[in-house]
Amino acid sequence: MRFTDKVALVIGGNSGIGLAAAEGLAAEGAHVFITGRSEKTLAEAEAVVPGSSAFRCDIADPDTLRPALDAIRDRRGRIDVLVVNAGIGLFAPLRDVTPAIWDEVHGVNLRGCFFAIQKALPLMGKGGSIVVTGSIGAVLAIPGNTVYAAAKAGLRALVRIIAVELVGEGIRVNMVSPGPTETPIIYRSGLDEAGIAGLRTMMEDNVPMHRMGTPEEIARSMLFLASDEASFVTGIDMFVDGGSVELR
């Protein structure tokens, strides 16, 4: 029960890794608030995460986070754990990338994450922990992944700098970078059914463990970094990827 009476906000907690993190936090005693873009999956998440409250929020528009933050301020007065998990994926070769594609992905995966942290920060204080979902794509040269990789690489730099800025305030900031993981994001990659099947095969073949990870496996690392067990850890990028980076 590492999070007894802690207050946690999971941005993008309505599916996949974020939902697994929200479930884990609640199971260990946290009061969990969840945001996401889909009313349907938010309702589903609220039903499976005990005692949680869900709010519709599009991270690409930071102002839409206000109702969730207002509710946290009114009901609990603070945020102890902030998980920034919202993200979108899109594969496109160099010649097919448009300014609209670039802005859509970066608006969520980089700009949106930055301003979400900025807006939540007034509710955080000494002992607080921020965990951001990155990607091993930030450090791997994967064809067709320029837009997504650039956003996640920027997010990786952002996490390190914010960690430096907040270390004096007693707030830790870390990143977990998953490898190929069984989440709905693969079906929102812009690929057709055959492309998705090919992508899955390619990813599994390139993982030394020869399988994809589960959301729960990624979430366990996030909960470790969010907890006091990691009290002397800040600014790191933890690869949870079946050896995809370190064993290549």
110 touches 155 (CB < 8 A): yes
pLDDT at 187: 65
pLDDT at 197: 81
CA distance 8 to 130: 10
Residue 209 within any structural domain of the chain = yes
Residue 153 within any structural domain of the chain = yes
Please name which of 136, 137, 112 lies closest in space to residue 12, comparing C-alpha atoms. Answer: 112
Active site residue 187: no
Strand partners, 45: none
pLDDT at 189: 58
**Conformation bin of residue 58: beta by default, left when phi > 0, alpha when psi is -120 to 50:** beta
DSSP code of residue 111: I
What angle in degrees, to the nearest 10, is found between the helix axes of 16-27 and 39-48? 30
Three-state SS for 57?
coil
DSSP code of residue 247: T
CA distance 107 to 164: 24
Residue 64 within any structural domain of the chain = yes
Residue 199 within any structural domain of the chain = yes
Question: Quick one: how many helices (H) and strands (E) in the chain?
Answer: 8, 7
pLDDT at 45: 96
CA distance 58 to 37: 5
Residue 247 within any structural domain of the chain = no
pLDDT, block means (10 residues), the chain with 248 residues: 98 96 98 96 96 96 96 98 91 93 96 98 98 94 91 97 98 96 70 78 86 95 98 98 89
Please report, as a single letter, which amino acid is at residue 202.
Answer: M
CA distance 163 to 231: 13
Three-state SS for 236?
coil
Residue 1 within any structural domain of the chain = no
DSSP code of residue 170: T
Q: Write the CA distances from 99 to 62, 110, 126, integer angstroms.
A: 21, 15, 40
Residue 216 within any structural domain of the chain = yes
pLDDT at 90: 83
User: What range defines the domain where residue 47 resides?
Assistant: 7-240
Token code pair at residue 37? 């873009």
Token code pair at residue 22? 């929200």
CATH code assigned at 209: 3.40.50.720
pLDDT at 182: 83
Helix runs in the chain, H state only = 16-27, 39-48, 66-75, 99-106, 113-120, 146-166, 193-206, 215-226
Number of domains in the chain: 1
**Which of 3, 33, 114, 148 is an active site residue?**
148
Residue 68 within any structural domain of the chain = yes
Token code pair at residue 229? 């067990």
pLDDT at 123: 98
